[in-house]
Structure 1
Amino acid sequence: MLLSDPTLAVFCLFCAAFFAAGLVRVMINLAVLDHPGDRSSHETPTPKGGGVGVMASFFLFFPLVQDITGHSVLRTDVFLTALATLFLAAISWFDDMYQWPAFIKLAAQCIASALVIAGGTAVAWPGHISGIILSVIWLLFITNAVNFMDGLNGLISGSLIAGNFFVAAVATYYGFPDLMWSALMMAACLLGFLPFNYPKAKIFLGDIGSQSCGLLAGTSALYMTRHTPLPSGWLLGPSLLFPLIFDVTFTLLRRTLARQSLMQAHRGHLYQVLHRSGMNAALITVCECLFVVWGGVVAVYVAHQPPVSGVCIALPLLLLPQMGWLALAVIRTKKHPVGRW
């Protein structure tokens, strides 16, 4: 008896998770070490490159699931996004090993973003050219935001798993059902990695994992914005990513106002400050994942609102838990001083 297509696709998801886990074990044994630095939360050298397992599994099983579910991988937007992610993953892996200068990473991110935009995945407003520029800025920002926030066990992998499951759950409601299986595939691959990184880290994603996942997260948000028929449906991507966006934006603004170098490695992100104040790392990760889910709930709540009304309603609701998170950091650092942050 032949399996139905959805059943076979789900089977592929399980295979992807186990294959990713197997490759992560290989990377642990390979032991490309991440030595503690100025922005590190760990104290002993720990293997990195878990993203090799995540991305290799994703690119192996994603085309298979796409074919099973009747979605072509030869579409221009899918093909160029895959090419962009492979390119950025390759550069990021070499950077993980050889610690290349920052301008090389930025150049690779720009090329990858350009490839994504060339595939047609860009916002169409406020105009054609301005929409392209805005889309490139968005991709660069989200790629780096995910990279910056990948500094605590399970935080990024857990947040992206939560976000991808949420996207898969509401994809049909939002009008882009073809995104459901790709979101589930990314969640499955990250689930294969998560047990090796949370609650105790045996390996880190590395830049190959964080930057590649960041590019895909930013691209998915652009795709959702471009294809949803709901008036405020475009808020789904930014709302799910809002915990990362808030932390990175707040930290950049604070360091700018304090006249601290934006290029210097630091441990001044809110999640790092809370960890330095003695807050349990596993609890911080759980809270960040819950913030992602809250962002998704807010996005669904405002989806049918006119665009301006949607923003006016969603923004305070998204800011509320983040302001509480910031207040908690201030209170804890007064009781448990962490120095300048």
Structure 2
Amino acid sequence: MAYAWELALSAFLISLAAQFITVRYSKKFNLFIDSHLEEKPQRFHQDSTPRAGGIGILLGMFVLLFTPIGWKLLITMILAFFSGIFEDFRRSMPPRIRLLLQMIAAGAAVVLMDSVVRYLGLGIYLPYLVAITFSIFSIVGLMNAMNIIDGFNGLASGATLLILLSLGHTALLVEAREMFEMILVTGSAVFAFFVVNFPRGKIFLGDGGAYLIGFVVALIGIFLAGNYPRISPWYILAILGYPVWEVIFSIYRKLRAGCSPMQPDAYHLHMLVYRHITKNNPLTSLLLLGGYAPFILLSSLFPHNSKANILILLTFILSYLLFYRFLSKKEQAA
């Protein structure tokens, strides 16, 4: 166990150093800069800021090479990272190519790490090929979900840390030591980014960083649910409730309005909270994470219980919808 903490400290220090280096040289050479002068519906910052925080997280996670299965994760997550870093570098990648890279990364990870969920709980089993497809779809979905909630300082990274805390606790319960090491290293690398990003937003995750943390979290969750019968897949889904439901509701909302689900807009929950409640970037993240954390805590108490986690998830969705409706009325009245 002491070795795992040594790896975690190394990941934190490497990631932290890389964040500061990235901030300095991105501004010096005008690389990965997200200009505050560009008009985008999802922009809520006042300074030009590098959006390459994923570089430091990735470098920090290279200490996983010193773990038995870490190399399998590194090979696949590098591909996942590169599906987004081109956008951060101002190299526009066609959405189909980006999606293809994400699917290849997810497919390779599912095979290399045997991260397949066949039993969904409640007596439901999936055929093997269907289970593989479902697992790949889930990983790609969470990659994009993390990118969607990455709108304010500390929001996506804070949500990731809460999720990893729960996964780490559960991994210890089922004695999944290798997974615990992976969770600890990932959390340490992400935390190093968090302390630079929150509250002042000196650096952003960027597409590469958001895809990276979404990929790793999804893969860990699927591995635990697929390889440890004491862990319910519904527990994994419940602790991922916020990013997962945000992307599902966003697709529904845009289709209902006759818009493309791929088209960015300014009506995500975090944006409405900012405009009508906090009017403050880091405070928006604190409010949303404070509302999300109790649901994660509740699910963490029942990682084996599908029915309890379904109830927790439905309660979260209902709470989200009521809150969104309240904010929508304020939006219409504005």
TM-score range, shorter chain: 0.7 to 0.9
Q: 2 CA distance for matches of 1:317 and 1:55?
A: 33
Work out whether 1:51 is the aligned partner of 2:54: yes
CA distance in 1, matches of 2:326, 2:267: 15
Residue 93 (structure 1) aligns with: 85
Which AA in structure 2 matches 1:138?
S
Cα 1:154–1:118 change in 2 (3 A) is same
The aligned residue for residue 299 of structure 1 is 299
Conserved 8 A contact 2:5-2:184? no
AA aligned to 2:52 is G
C-alpha distance in 1 between matches for 2:318 and 2:281:
19
Cross-structure match for 1:123: 117
Q: Deviations over 1:268-309 (max 9, x none)?
A: 21112211224243333234434554343333444444xxxx
Whole-angstrom CA distance in 1 between matches of 2:150 and 2:296: 21
Q: Is residue 20–residue 189 contact of structure 1 (8 Å, CA) maintained in 2? A: yes
Decide whether aligned partners of structure 1 residues 20 and 233 sit closer, same or farther in structure 2, where only a CA change above 3 A counts. same
Match of 1:23 in 2: 18
How big is the shift at 1:336?
Answer: 5.5
The answer for unaligned runs of 5 or more in structure 1 is 1-5, 67-71
Q: Identify which of 61, 64, 69 aligns with 1:62.
A: 64
2:5 maps to 1:10: yes
TM-score scaled by structure 2?
0.87
Q: CA RMSD in A?
A: 2.2
1:175 Cα deviation after fit: 4.8
Which residue matches 2:207?
207
Deviations along 1:82-121, one digit per CA (max 9) or x if unpaired, are 2111112234222311122222211110111111122221
Q: Which amino acid aligns with 1:271?
A: H
Following superposition, the deviation at residue 153 of structure 1 comes to 0.8
Match of 1:39 in 2: 42
Task: Work out whether residues 139 and 215 of structure 1, in 8 Å CA contact, stay in contact via their aligned partners in 2.
Answer: yes
Tell me, what secondary structure is at the counterpart of 1:277? helix
- Larger mean CA deviation between 78-87 and 327-336 belongs to 327-336
Give distance in 2, aligned partners of 1:304 and 1:213: 25
State which drifts further: 37-46 or 285-294: 285-294
Take 1:111 and 1:253, find their aligned partners in 2: how far apart are those partners? 26
Q: Which amino acid is the alignment partner of residue 153 of structure 1?
A: N
User: For residue 102 of structure 2, what is the amino acid of its counterpart?
Assistant: Q
Return closer, same or farther for 1:338/1:52 CA change in 2, 3 Å cut-off: farther
1:168 touches 1:180 (CA, 8 Å); kept in 2? yes
Alignment partner, residue 107 of structure 1: 100
The letter of the residue matching 1:113 is A
1:51 deviation in Å?
Answer: 0.8
Contact 2:235 2:302 in 1 (8 A): no
> Which residue does the alignment assign to 1:316?
311
In 2, Cα distance between the equivalents of 1:247 and 1:338? 23
TM-score w.r.t. structure 1 length?
A: 0.85
Q: Percent identity?
A: 20
- Note the C-alpha offset of 1:338: 8.0
- Secondary structure class of the residue paired with 2:162: helix
Equivalent residue letter for 2:137:
I
1:282 aligned residue: 282
Secondary structure of 1:123's counterpart equals: coil
The one-letter code sitting in structure 1 at the alignment partner of 2:86 is: F
| 2:121 equivalent in structure 1 | none
CA 1:129–1:325: 2 relative to 1, 3 Å: closer
Task: For structure 2, list consecutive stretches of 5 or more residues without a partner in the other structure.
Answer: 119-124
Higher mean C-alpha deviation, range 12-21 or range 250-259: 12-21
